Structure 1
Amino acid sequence: MTVPYKRILIAVLSALLLVATAASGGAATPPASPASGQQDFDWEIGTWRSTVRVLAEPLSESADTWLQFAGTSTVRPLLDRRANVVEFVVSGAAGSINALNMRLYEPQAQRWSLTFVNLRDGLLTPSVYGGFHNGAGEFYGDDQLAGRPIKVRFLIFRPGPDEARFEQAFSADGGTTWETNWLAVDRRTRR
């Protein structure tokens, strides 16, 4: 792990700790009940082999070129499993993607926020919010693409205990139509 990478990871984890402490008023918070959703991501803790397809130019006229990547995804629990961080490192002919996904459970809203960190530019994306229903995760949010507002949808499916599928889609028409731009399949390599 390089020094800049360690600094970014420490800053991200520190920010998560501050947010969780502020949300609890600085006092220790008792663990959430299993029905609350706090354990929704427990199944994902561990290391996964990731294969990824990324649409080269989302929401454009040339939306038929897909880039291929492969690598690892490592999920670590934080704050008594009220948060977790995904370290995502993949590469392919088009280059590499090094990113973090910070996930934080909001007990008052009984939902998760997912915030992506691109280590190339060091920026946080606007969060998507949601949870799991009938075994599938659904998360929605607002963002911008090339200066125009878009909707973002992030879906998680579990075809089996050691396999997961992640799909991201954008909408430029307020959620009427969606264009998938990210497809990842993860297979567990280690718990």
Structure 2
Amino acid sequence: MAAGQVVDVERRGEHGPALLLIPEAGVRADSWSAFLDRNASRYRMAAVTLRGGAGVEALSRWLDEQKLNRVVIAGQGAGGTLGVALAAKRPDVIAGAVSINGAITSSPGRPSFALDYLAPDRVDLYRSAAAVAPPPDMDQLLRAVTVPVLSLRHVPRGPNVDGAAIRAEWAAELKRAGAPLTVQTAFVDGGEYFLEEFLPEVVDDALERFVRGQEVKDYHKRFPPPQPGAAPCSSDPAFRDFDFWVGDWDVKPAQGPTPPQPMFNRITREERGCLIHEAWNGGGLTGQSFNIFEASRRIWRQFWVDAGGTVHEYWGRWRDGAMRMRGFIRSPRFAAPLPVRLTFFRLGPDTVRQFSETSADGGTTWSTAYDFIYERRK
């Protein structure tokens, strides 16, 4: 592969404004897949993976090859930095740029990564992404921007977080860099670094307003406080996202012959509703999983172990009508952790589909691991 290439382009939509979506450094285009699916009727979109140190020049060449113009760029982290730099150099092609927690000045800042929710294999990747410094001439590029720019920034949750100080610090940084009036900032109180992962509705709304030329104001995400005397996991409805899976289930493949050994799964709520426990017995295999909703991160986690010594770790959330998770499988049979995607669909009050995909090439391509249909045992 030649250095500095745009690869793995994912496209959606045939109508509306053109969007170019750039992921965080070292992350693939499929990190934008859910956004692409949700907004296919609104925009003409392309999400790209950058390889071999691809930057402004490679993206500029790619845009010319695609004969695109009046494009709005949205990028996460270093992808947002790259988008603003490209907007400064190619105002003939770029109509605007949205940077999601990206450094748009020459100061790298102090990004707050939600590392705790990641599988261990991803932590080093995202730490390296956080260490990616903006170009040394980023202040100069920012001052040269003539198209609208939105810096969408999260304010972490926590008892010692001073949101006013974070806002003041950022305002001072933009003033120091000489940011033009075309640059606006919107803060997301209670957000996370990977906003598209944790608060997709905020990203959807902010981009829609920006594309329409409207002001994007701060977002104040509020989470319901515990009710006096109530169990901690009963006051927040998000703890009930996975309740459709609770029950005794007969399981069979969605397609193909039924295996000779029956498959059964018992899913129960435990620990006053704070834990969903799975006990699988089928296909010659037994295993268990713990499923918990981590309220501070607004994500679901699953930890599975079976009698063969295989361990699965997943994280995700209820999104677009399904419980969508991703993670890794570790097994004595594997030389390295295997990337996996896991989705649960509620097909009806008594029917659930569980669909698993794995990737042998680090997430570039995916193949079906299994596709199960659950029927509630009467």
Same fold (TM over 0.5): yes
Task: Give yes or no for the alignment of 1:80 onto 2:272.
Answer: yes
The AA in structure 1 aligned to 2:287 is A
CA–CA separation in structure 1 for the residues paired with 2:344 and 2:373: 10
Q: Please say if 1:41 is aligned against 2:233.
A: no
Q: CA RMSD in A?
A: 2.7
Partner of 2:281: 89
Moved over 2 A (4+): 28-35, 65-71, 142-146
Once the 2 structures are TM-superposed, how far is the Cα of residue 32 of structure 1 from its aligned partner?
A: 5.0
Larger Rg: 2
Secondary structure at the aligned position of 2:244 is classed as: helix
1:103 equivalent to 2:305? Answer: no
Between the two proteins, the alignment pairs up a number of residues equal to 146
- Residue pair 2:350, 2:376 contacting (<8 A) in 1 also: yes
User: Residues 135, 113 of structure 1: CA spacing in aligned structure 2 closer, same or farther, 3 A cutoff?
Assistant: same
- Aligned positions of 1:1-191 closer than 5 A: 30-31=232-233, 33-35=235-237, 37-52=238-253, 68=259, 70-91=262-283, 96-119=284-307, 121=308, 123=309, 125-144=311-330, 146-190=334-378
Determine if contact 1:143/1:149 at 8 Å carries over to the other structure. Answer: yes
CA contact (8 A) 2:252 2:258 kept: no
The match for 2:164 is none
Cα offset, 1:173, TM superposition: 2.4
Residues 31, 146 of structure 1: CA spacing in aligned structure 2 closer, same or farther, 3 A cutoff? closer
Contact 1:78/1:84 (8 A) holds in 2: yes
**CA distance 1:30–1:142, change in 2 (3 Å):** same
Unmatched 5+ stretches in structure 2:
1-229
Q: Distance in 2 between matches of 1:139 and 1:66?
A: 27
Q: Which has the higher contact order (CA 8 A, sep 6+)?
A: 1
The Cα offsets for residues 41-63 of structure 1, whole Å up to 9 and x where unpaired, read as: 1122211111147xxxxxxxxxx
Task: Decide whether the 8 Å contact of 1:149 with 1:172 is kept in 2.
Answer: no
- State percent identity of aligned pairs: 23
Structure with greater strand percent:
1
- In structure 1, runs of 5+ residues without a counterpart are 1-27, 54-64
Which residue type is aligned with residue 245 of structure 2? E
Is the 2:279–2:287 Cα contact (8 Å) retained in structure 1?
yes
Aligned equivalents of 1:128, 1:67: Cα separation in 2: 27
**Between Structure 1 and Structure 2, which shows a larger proportion of helix residues?**
2
